[in-house]
Chains A and B, each alone.
Chain A
Amino acid sequence: MTSESDMNRRAYLATVGAAGVTGVAGCLGGNGDGDGTGNGNGNESGNGDGDGTEVIVPGTASGFPPFEYTENGELVGFDIELAEEVITRAGYEVGDWVDIEFESLTPSLLNEELDLVAAAMTINEERAQQIAFTDPYYEANQAVLVPSGGDFQPEAESDLEGRVVGAQSSTTGEDEVDRLIEEGVVDEGDYRQYDNYTLAVQDLENGNVDAIVIDIPVANNFSDSRDVEVAFTIETGEEYGLGMRQDDDRIQDVNDALAEVQEDGTYEELVSKYFDQSDE
Chain B
Amino acid sequence: MDPVPLQSADWQFIFDNAEYLLFGTVVTILLTLSSLTLGFLAGFPAGAIEVYGSGWLRDLVSTVGVLLRGTPIVVLIFLFHFGLPIPRLWTVEVLDQELFQLGVFVSATLALGLRSGAYQAQVFRGAIQSIGEGQMEAARSVGLSKLQAIRHIVFPQAIRRSVPGFQNEFTIVLKDTSVAFAIGLAELLTRAENLYLQPGRDTAAVEVILAISAIYFVLTFATNRALDHLEDVYAVPGGTE
Closest to B91 in A: A96
Query: For B222, what are the chain A residues with a Cβ–Cβ distance below 8 Å?
Result: none
Our pick among A4, A20, A69, A96 for the contact of B197 (Cβ within 8 Å) is A69
In the complex, A16 Cα to B194 Cα: how many Å?
35
Closest to B38 in A: A10
In the complex, are the beta carbons of B79 and A17 less than 8 A apart?
Answer: yes
Our pick among B79, B186, B199 for the contact of A221 (Cβ within 8 Å) is B199
In the complex, are the beta carbons of B205 and A199 less than 8 A apart?
Answer: yes
Interface segment among B56-64, B129-137, B159-167, B212-220: the answer is B56-64
In the complex, are the beta carbons of B1 and A206 less than 8 A apart?
Answer: yes
In the complex, A224 Cα to B21 Cα: how many Å?
27
In the complex, are the beta carbons of B46 and A198 less than 8 A apart?
Answer: no
Closest Cβ of chain B to A245, distance in Å, is 15
In the complex, are the beta carbons of B114 and A73 less than 8 A apart?
Answer: no
In the complex, A62 Cα to B194 Cα: how many Å?
7
In the assembled complex, B143 has its CB within 8 A of some CB on chain A: no
Interface segment among A31-39, A101-109, A135-143, A263-271: the answer is A101-109
Query: For B184, what are the chain A residues with a Cβ–Cβ distance below 8 Å?
Result: 98-101, 104, 108
In the complex, are the beta carbons of A202 and B4 less than 8 A apart?
Answer: yes
Interface size class of A (residues with CB under 8 A): 35 or more
In the complex, are the beta carbons of A17 and B80 less than 8 A apart?
Answer: yes
0 or 1 for each of A81-115: is its CB under 8 Å from B? (1 = yes):
00000000000000010111101100110010100
Query: For A14, what are the chain B residues with a Cβ–Cβ distance below 8 Å?
Result: 64, 67-68, 114
In the complex, are the beta carbons of B202 and A10 less than 8 A apart?
Answer: no
Task: Knowing A18-B67, A107-B82 are in contact, say whether A225-B186 is a contact too (CB < 8 A).
Answer: no
Q: Which residues of B from 82 to 99 have beta carbons under 8 Å from A?
A: 82-84, 88, 91, 97
In the complex, A20 Cα to B85 Cα: how many Å?
11
Query: For B196, what are the chain A residues with a Cβ–Cβ distance below 8 Å?
Result: 198
In the complex, are the beta carbons of A63 and B194 less than 8 A apart?
Answer: yes
Task: Knowing A65-B197, A96-B91 are in contact, say whether A107-B78 is a contact too (CB < 8 A).
Answer: yes
Our pick among B64, B68, B182, B199 for the contact of A103 (Cβ within 8 Å) is B182
In the assembled complex, A49 has its CB within 8 A of some CB on chain B: no
Query: For A3, what are the chain B residues with a Cβ–Cβ distance below 8 Å?
Result: 45
Q: Which residues of B from 205 to 229 have beta carbons under 8 Å from A?
A: 205-206
In the complex, A205 Cα to B1 Cα: how many Å?
7
In the complex, are the beta carbons of B193 and A63 less than 8 A apart?
Answer: yes
7 chain-A/chain-B pairs, Cβ below 8 angstroms: A2-B45, A7-B61, A13-B84, A20-B79, A99-B186, A107-B82, A225-B199
Q: A-contacting residues of B (Cβ < 8 Å)?
A: 1, 4, 20, 42, 45-46, 48-49, 53, 57, 60-61, 64, 67-68, 75-76, 78-80, 82-84, 88, 91, 97, 110, 114, 181-184, 186, 193-200, 202-203, 205-206
What 12 additional pairs, Cβ within 8 angstroms, besides A20-B84, A104-B78? A7-B46, A7-B61, A14-B114, A19-B83, A20-B79, A63-B194, A101-B181, A101-B184, A104-B183, A196-B193, A196-B197, A202-B206
Q: B-contacting residues of A (Cβ < 8 Å)?
A: 1-4, 6-8, 10-11, 13-21, 23-24, 27-28, 62-66, 69-73, 96, 98-101, 103-104, 107-108, 111, 113, 196, 198-199, 201-202, 205-207, 221-222, 224-226
